[in-house]
Amino acid sequence: MSQSLPLDLDVQTVKQLFDRGAIVLLDCREAHEVAVARIEGAVWIPMREIPSRLSELGQDRPIVVYCHHGGRSRQVTQFLRRQGFANAHNMAGGIDAWSLLVDPTIPRYD
What string of DSSP letters covers 27-77? E---HHHHHH---TT-EE--GGGGGGGGGGS-SSS-EEEE-SSSHHHHHHH
Active-site residue, selected from the candidate residues 50, 67, 91, 95: 67
Is the separation of the CB atoms in 46 and 27 below 8 Å? no
Residue 28 bears catalytic tag: no
32 half-sphere exposure, CB direction, 13 A CA radius: 2
Active site residues: 67
